[in-house]
Structure 1
């Protein structure tokens, strides 16, 4: 079942305002834990890790964010 435009807009706000900060906290905590255990990877490896994690969070939510910045297509049909 596909989400409506308004539902996708609401879910995108929930994901960005609640889910993303929680993901950042978990990612940094796991990275710090690995840094303590392994003695710390080189700075370049750490940078690549955080860049990959920065893009990884949005892959499952691609369908939610798709078209949210566009005008509501259902509202356009109502005005005609």
Structure 2
């Protein structure tokens, strides 16, 4: 299923404006369920979670900042 450029732009905006804040709240809530680890471990957890959210959306974000390839000129 190939998404058009316009659809990918709209979907990426939705992911960044709605999905990412929800993901951040969930990640912080889950980390707060456990006893606070040492600061470096906590930093590592947040860095991994910060990179992990983008993996499923790699195709959606690819080329979104470029000129519309379907535009023709």
Which interval holds the TM-score relative to the shorter structure?
over 0.9
CA distance in 1, matches of 2:2, 2:29: 34
* Partner of residue 2, structure 2: 2
Query: Offset at 1:24?
Result: 0.1
Query: Offset at 1:34?
Result: 1.4
| The structure with more radius of gyration | 1
CA distance in 1, matches of 2:13, 2:34: 31
SS of the residue 2:37 aligns to: coil
Query: Offset at 1:33?
Result: 0.7
- Residues 33-44 of structure 1 mapped to structure 2, 5 A cutoff: 33-35=33-35, 40-44=36-40
Unaligned runs of 5+ in 2: none
Compare the two structures and name the one with the higher helix fraction.
Answer: 1
Unaligned runs of 5+ in 1: none
Calculate the aligned-residue CA RMSD, in Å: 0.8
